[in-house]
A and B are shown apart, each in its own frame.
Chain A
């Protein structure tokens, strides 16, 4: 009796049964004759041969191959459409011992994810990218992909892809081959036995680059989609050989495995406890328990001026001080595109109750650092509210309101007398603190210390608060 030994069988890195469905748990979800199934097998075999199952993390895309994690018994992440290279970057950098394989369709990689793949390739990230190019959006029912061959009908190109209105097909391997960093770029086909056997070798080579940690390897696979192409599986293979391969020439575009050095291991991230020091967020003040607010408060503040006048900073100091005093706070900046001399304003809320909205449409207090800001926001101040206005003279006739309390002073001149007109905002802060019983001064001082690093400036700011208080002091 002749005896036989198994030479080809299901890869070990695939699950014995797939838990996705209640029945037929050893069948994939792919259509009969789908190239994804073949690509999956070639990849699984390469993983087995390289002996890296326990180190592999597969990134599955959106598209027909979304369910890779039901099949591959490796680490798995399923990501949003087109983002596999970005997630793969994070994985391979934070887990440098792992082997990251990102698997994407042509809609995923060449349409919505074009930016991600381009830059991951350009950075030479340590990952293997399997790019299954079936020239169509399979999962969503056959819309044109960037890779759809000219003349091919799809649901969105019912008369066939037109060079002038739809552009010619995008060749991703060639595009990536214009970059310096990738180590390996190859296009293979699944059009017949010979092509499939060649493809098997390329899967192995692209994966070995990961084992050696040489960098980025990219494998484009021309893959049949018999269902959407409306061809039987054998004709779909022929379409790969005779049609797709004309648009997308099969072959190796780059193989630098001989000269490529191992990429340096990514620098480990600093421990989280170190972050405050690195970001210069530490100060010497001892940690104090969260304060309990001494009284109920509902401050709705709008601060407005020119960019560079310290509008946003003043808002931040107040919000920080409110926070330290134990209130709920919000700070919402709103500024034009220019960093200097545009207008800028911010909304600040400091309340005993939770902040229902960070938007302050009808402020109880308006700090207007110049006349245009006063003109713009005065009508929105709530009746009985207060305006602190930085003006050389009283506000113009048409910028007054009898139902609103005004504190008008030339705050900039006061700041100048202290050494810098940049302290105008803090002089106005002093006036506000004096005029309204808001927050204890120690919290304001502590917030200032958190924001202002230089002692010289702190001294100016504390003097500025005093000057402001004197101005607002009721005589």
Chain B
């Protein structure tokens, strides 16, 4: 039997991200982290753990970059 899919998902633009960490701090289920690698600008960009997002949108609002985070929600089957 397959596991129940997550309610949400996030896509992060690692080149727009400035590694401020606000999304990591704000995410309620703590499913974001700062990567160990550096992006073009020399920041550690935020990344999704890959599971557990609820699509609450909080990371989107606390992020100062207009397009660094896209939040998606599971479409009810």
A residues with a Cβ closer than 8 A to B are 2-11, 14, 24, 26-28, 30-38, 40-42, 44, 71, 192-193, 196-197, 200, 226, 232-234, 237
Decide: A193 and B26 in contact? CB cutoff 8 A: yes
- A sample of 26 cross-chain residue pairs with beta-carbon separation below 8 angstroms, ordered by A number, consists of A3-B75, A4-B9, A5-B73, A7-B57, A7-B72, A8-B60, A9-B70, A10-B66, A11-B66, A14-B66, A26-B66, A27-B16, A28-B64, A32-B18, A32-B43, A33-B20, A34-B64, A35-B64, A38-B61, A40-B64, A40-B66, A44-B66, A193-B62, A196-B61, A196-B62, A234-B21
The interface residues of chain A lying within 8 Å CB-to-CB of B47 are: none
Decide: B5 and A2 in contact? CB cutoff 8 A: yes
Measured as residues with beta carbon below 8 angstroms from the partner, the interface class of chain B is 35 or more
Decide: A28 and B66 in contact? CB cutoff 8 A: yes
Residue B55, interface by CB 8 Å: yes
Residue B51, interface by CB 8 Å: no
Decide: B64 and A33 in contact? CB cutoff 8 A: yes
Residue B49, interface by CB 8 Å: no
Decide: A37 and B66 in contact? CB cutoff 8 A: yes
Q: Mark B22-47, 1 if CB is under 8 A from A, else 0.
A: 10011000000000000011010000
B interface SS class: loop
Residue B50, interface by CB 8 Å: no
The minimal Cβ–Cβ distance linking B72 to chain A, given in whole angstroms, is 4
The interface residues of chain A lying within 8 Å CB-to-CB of B74 are: 2-4
The interface residues of chain A lying within 8 Å CB-to-CB of B58 are: 193
Q: A40-B66, A71-B66, A232-B21 are in contact. List 19 more A-B contacts (CB 8 A).
A: A4-B9, A5-B75, A6-B72, A7-B8, A7-B72, A8-B69, A8-B71, A9-B71, A10-B70, A26-B66, A28-B65, A28-B66, A32-B18, A33-B22, A36-B64, A37-B64, A41-B66, A196-B61, A233-B20
Please measure, in the bound complex, the distance between the C-alpha atom of A37 and the C-alpha atom of B20, giving whole angstroms: 12
Decide: A237 and B9 in contact? CB cutoff 8 A: no
The interface residues of chain A lying within 8 Å CB-to-CB of B65 are: 27-28, 37
Please measure, in the bound complex, the distance between the C-alpha atom of A427 and the C-alpha atom of B73, giving whole angstroms: 91
The minimal Cβ–Cβ distance linking A65 to chain B, given in whole angstroms, is 12
Please measure, in the bound complex, the distance between the C-alpha atom of A166 and the C-alpha atom of B62, giving whole angstroms: 33
